[in-house]
């Protein structure tokens, strides 16, 4: 395969306008199908957002190795990268079957890979209040700029009636008591030396009475659960009816123009409190927790090993080990791991070497995936996968799709997970699961 054709994009500066009304107005004008909105929260990590609408082309992969019609999503991404252009979309957790072919992967009922090429995209830098169009086709750049000039943000955009979400209608595939029993099972495997750590997940879902507007639902989510790596992807074409809505605080992999790689694993969570003293106590409890620190350090070691497969020897560093980061709903412990990508390697080589993410699997990774397959009753799909941006210049950024909602037709599903280590308490882990899911469910209600 020929090397990727990297081209510096053209830029067209724009006057500042409030991003969310702008997204709504553009979606009303150009349609929702194929919309991807990588939505930063204005923080140091989430200082930029990127919006793509009316894609020029889309790519979809479904199925696991050996299934009829299945295709390798990593080979598809490599082909897209080689062809150039700006691509955004999602990659599902079960894409791991194309890295480690084995029977411990469930066949997802959403696209394994869905990606769309947009030209141009709207880029927003929140702290500096700058906006610009970025693209490769001068004619399309001018056309989009003209559209933005005449767009009236004062007129409320047409939309479907608000989607009714019944708080009592969530069906739990793994109820809290069953989740605690599964934690007990993982603890037994850890005690026997079979595992060191595993990230156990659970989900709930409901069938909506009417088709949902993913953009309207995401508006509810971002109002109360803003996050640095949030986002929305509404598939079109062959995956129409599927959408991913995310309030993720976690970066998976970033590759910049110099070949510098960064990953930011999160392990350790406490709920926020309105009272300042209670909130400070929760943060202090998290920082001093031996269990949460051990869990975080274990995943840092795993990710250092993953990066070591594709990064230059001696380049991997950990500039932040187990640092406290606080968001609107929760406190987290986050580490930062960096390295220099090896010569001749691409973002897709990096992605394949690290897939699926260490923070949402466990250690040893393959054994954790095997054990989790036997406990989790439904496929994860895009949850614990990634929402990504692959630039025409070869740069890459991606999230870990935690704190996320999956929409397929009129089925809405919410997932959450907890890292289990030797001194985990089953009841406490089931409670932590609630801390993580409750803000999402409350935002929707």
392 in a structural domain? yes
Decide: residue 145, CB within 10 A, 0-12 exposed, 13-18 middle, 19+ buried.
middle
Region of poorest pLDDT, from 17-31, 62-76, 150-164, 267-281: 150-164
Q: Can you name the residues that pair with 406 across neighbouring β-strands?
A: 244, 413
Evaluate whether residue 2 is within a structural domain. Answer: no
Alpha carbon distances (Å) from 297 to 79, 223, 263: 35, 32, 14
- In which band, very low, low, confident or very high, does the pLDDT at 156 lie, cut at 50, 70 and 90? low
Judge whether 216 lies within some domain. Answer: yes
Check which CATH number belongs to the domain holding 385 and give it: 3.60.120.10
Q: Please confirm, yes or no, whether 250 is among the known catalytic residues.
A: yes
The pLDDT score that the predictor gives to residue 2 is 44
pLDDT at 181 over 60: yes
Domain containing residue 327: 10-444
2, with CB counted inside 10 A (0-12, 13-18, 19+), is exposed
pLDDT digits (tens, 9 = 90+) for 213-256: 999 999 999 999 999 999 999 998 777 899 999 999 999 999 99
pLDDT at 3: 45
Nearest to 367, CA basis, from 33, 77, 102, 146: 102
**Per DSSP, what are the bridge partners of residue 88?**
116, 389
Q: What pLDDT score was predicted for residue 394? A: 87
In a domain, 1, yes or no: no
Peptide bond into 149 cis (omega under 30): no
Q: Which residue among the candidates 33, 94, 205, 250 is catalytic per the annotation?
A: 250
Residue 332 inside a domain? The answer is yes
- The answer to whether the CB of 444 falls within 8 A of the CB of 217 is yes
Q: Exposed, middle or buried, 418 (CB in 10 Å: 0-12/13-18/19+)?
A: buried
The answer to whether residue 365 is catalytic is no
Q: Determine the average pLDDT of the residues in 264-269.
A: 90
CA distance 219 to 211: 16
- Say if CB 51 and CB 26 are below 8 A apart: yes
- Give the residue-averaged pLDDT of 374-393: 96
User: pLDDT digits over 9-47, tens only?
Assistant: 899 999 999 999 999 999 999 999 999 999 999 999 999
Measured between alpha carbons, how far is 283 from 280 in angstroms, rounded to an integer?
5
Q: How many domains does the chain have?
A: 1
Q: Return the pLDDT at 159.
A: 60
Residue 5 lies in a domain: no
247 DSSP β-pair partners: 230
- Annotated catalytic residue: which of 134, 205, 242, 267? 267
Alpha helices in 159-272 (DSSP H): 176-191, 214-224
């Amino acid at each position: 395969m020929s090397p990727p054709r990297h081209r510096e994009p053209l830029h067209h500066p724009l006057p500042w306008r409030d991003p969310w009304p702008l997204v709504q107005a553009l979606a009303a004008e150009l349609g929702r199908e194929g919309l991807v909105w990588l939505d930063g929260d204005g923080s140091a990590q989430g200082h930029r957002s990127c919006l793509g609408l009316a894609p020029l082309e889309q790519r979809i992969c479904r199925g696991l190795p050996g299934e009829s019609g299945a295709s390798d999503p990593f080979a598809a991404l490599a082909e897209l990268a080689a062809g150039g252009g700006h691509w955004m979309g999602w990659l599902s957790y079960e894409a791991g079957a194309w890295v480690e072919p084995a029977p411990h992967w469930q066949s997802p009922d959403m696209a394994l890979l869905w990606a769309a090429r947009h030209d141009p995209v709207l880029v927003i830098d929140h702290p500096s209040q700058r906006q610009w169009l970025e693209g490769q086709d001068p004619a399309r750049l001018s056309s989009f700029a003209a559209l933005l000039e005449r767009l009236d943000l004062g007129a409320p955009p047409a939309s479907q009636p608000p989607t009714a979400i019944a708080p009592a209608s969530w069906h739990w595939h793994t109820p809290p008591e069953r989740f605690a029993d599964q934690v007990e099972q993982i603890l037994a495997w850890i005690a026997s030396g079979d595992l060191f750590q595993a990230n156990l997940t659970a989900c709930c879902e409901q069938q909506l009475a009417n088709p949902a507007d993913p953009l309207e639902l995401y508006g509810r989510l971002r109002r109360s659960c803003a996050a640095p790596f949030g986002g929305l992807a509404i598939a079109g074409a062959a995956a129409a009816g599927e959408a991913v809505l995310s309030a993720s605080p976690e970066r998976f992999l970033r590759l910049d123009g110099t070949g510098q790689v960064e990953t930011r694993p999160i392990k350790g969570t406490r709920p926020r409190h309105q009272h300042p003293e209670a909130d400070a106590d929760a943060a202090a409890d998290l920082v001093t927790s031996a269990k949460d620190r051990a869990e975080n350090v274990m995943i840092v070691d795993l990710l250092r090993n993953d990066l070591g497969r594709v990064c230059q020897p001696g380049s991997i560093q950990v500039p932040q080990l187990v640092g406290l980061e606080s968001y609107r709903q929760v406190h987290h412990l986050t580490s930062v791991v960096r390295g220099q990508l090896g010569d001749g390697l691409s973002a897709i080589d990096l992605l394949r070497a690290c897939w699926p993410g260490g923070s949402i699997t466990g250690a040893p990774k393959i054994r954790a995936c095997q054990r989790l397959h036997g406990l989790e009753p439904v496929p994860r799909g895009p949850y614990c996968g990634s929402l990504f941006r692959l630039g025409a210049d070869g740069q890459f950024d991606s999230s870990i799709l935690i704190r996320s909602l999956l929409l397929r037709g009129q089925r809405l599903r919410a997932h959450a997970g907890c890292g289990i280590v030797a001194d985990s308490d089953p009841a406490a882990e089931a409670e932590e699961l609630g801390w993580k899911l409750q803000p999402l469910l409350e935002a929707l209600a």
